């Protein structure tokens, strides 16, 4: 029983950060139909901002630095939307993907120029170092906080998309951008707001993950691949699907790692392949990709 609980906790500890990364990515695709490969670069910038500016191990200082990273990455994301992506909305997916990949390369180059290529480390907040022990189980305090924040983000996204006027406008744009414009929806403003929110989530994700990894220029490519896998498995553009996929896939990967260790490193993709063979449209995807962001 203890082994089972350990596997579940390990899967959740890895799944929630992956969802935070993928949430902004799937939100942007669900509304704007843009496969934002540069999302990985925005995520990396968030981590670098924390690594470069954090000067104290206090929880308050860390929390403020995480918010700073989110705000700074939001500014970068809005600039990317206005200067690059706004010109690509009417083009094909391949055009937007090429534009996003070009932006990915540009942002990565800028990061190297600003912060260099040497790996950096970020200390855990002193209040969140160590672990909580429940019986024979040991759970890292920082993992618990990240899981809690991931759950808060999931609920906040659901509320925004389903229960607010802005969410209704986002769904309308997702259905038909031209019709939404004809109905008087400020499509440009909403598009920029969606991209800003997606960038903010990317920055927050990078900042939160920074203490758990080595912050270097390989982060962008290393994390964007599993994030794309999550939104494909969950259903392209589905925020709920991304949540279920991130937790489910990492949970299954944790089982594979524990019981079939020789598949370590490959189990994630084996699980994904099996899911997509059974349900090619993704877990919460439908026959059409229109407005699946609300699911």
- Res 208: pLDDT: 92
Residues 217-245: what's their mean pLDDT? 85
Q: What is the C-alpha separation between 239 and 293, in angstroms, rounded?
A: 6
pLDDT of residue 10 exceeding 50, the answer is yes
* Digit-coded pLDDT (tens) for 19-44: 988 888 888 888 888 888 889 999 99
Burial class of residue 165, CB neighbours in 10 A (0-12, 13-18, 19+) = exposed
* Digit-coded pLDDT (tens) for 169-224: 988 888 888 888 888 888 888 989 999 999 999 999 999 999 988 899 888 888 88
- Res 287: pLDDT: 44
Domain edges within the chain: 2-217
Cβ contacts of 23 within 8 Å, gap of 6 or more = 153, 154, 157, 201, 205, 239, 242, 243
pLDDT of residue 262 exceeding 50, the answer is yes
In sign, the C-alpha dihedral spanning 282, 286, 290, 292 is: negative
Residues 263-291: what's their mean pLDDT? 68
Beta strand 137-140 pairing with 131-134: antiparallel
Q: What is the C-alpha separation between 12 and 234, in angstroms, rounded?
A: 16
Which band of pLDDT confidence, cut at 50, 70 and 90, is reported for residue 267?
Answer: low
Q: What is the C-alpha separation between 81 and 104, in angstroms, rounded?
A: 13
- Res 268: pLDDT: 66
C-beta of residue 19 within 8 angstroms of C-beta of residue 150: yes
Of residues 73 and 276, more confidence is placed in 73
Q: Can you give the pTM of this predicted structure? A: 0.87
- 3-class state of residue 287 by DSSP: coil
């Amino acid at each position: 029983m203890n082994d089972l609980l350990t596997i579940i906790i390990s899967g959740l500890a890895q799944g929630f950060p992956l969802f935070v990364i993928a949430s902004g990515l799937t939100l942007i695709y669900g509304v704007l139909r843009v496969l934002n490969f540069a999302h990985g670069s925005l995520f990396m910038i968030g981590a670098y901002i924390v690594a470069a500016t954090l000067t104290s191990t206090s929880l308050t200082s860390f929390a403020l630095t995480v918010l700073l990273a989110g705000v700074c990455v939001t500014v970068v994301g809005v600039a990317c939307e206005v200067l690059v992506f706004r010109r690509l909305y009417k083009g094909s997916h391949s055009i937007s993907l090429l534009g996003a990949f070009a932006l990915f390369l540009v942002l990565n180059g800028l990061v190297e120029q600003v912060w260099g290529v040497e790996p950096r480390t970020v200390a855990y907040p002193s209040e969140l170092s160590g672990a909580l022990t429940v019986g024979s189980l040991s759970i890292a305090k920082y993992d618990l906080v990240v899981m809690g924040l991931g759950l808060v983000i999931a609920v906040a996204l659901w509320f925004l998309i389903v229960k607010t006027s802005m969410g209704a406008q986002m769904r309308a744009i997702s259905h038909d951008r031209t019709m939404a414009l004809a109905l008087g929806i400020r499509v440009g403003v909403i598009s920029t707001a969606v991209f800003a929110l997606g960038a903010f989530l990317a920055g927050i994700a990078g900042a939160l993950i920074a203490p758990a990894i080595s912050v270097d220029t390989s982060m962008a490519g290393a994390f964007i691949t599993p994030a794309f896998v999550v939104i494909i498995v969950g259903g392209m553009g589905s925020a709920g699907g991304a949540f279920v996929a991130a937790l489910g896939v990492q949970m299954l990967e944790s089982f594979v790692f524990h019981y079939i260790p020789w598949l370590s490193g490959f189990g994630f993709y084996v699980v994904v392949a099996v899911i997509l063979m059974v349900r090619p449209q993704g877990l919460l995807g439908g026959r059409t990709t229109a407005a699946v962001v609300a699911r």
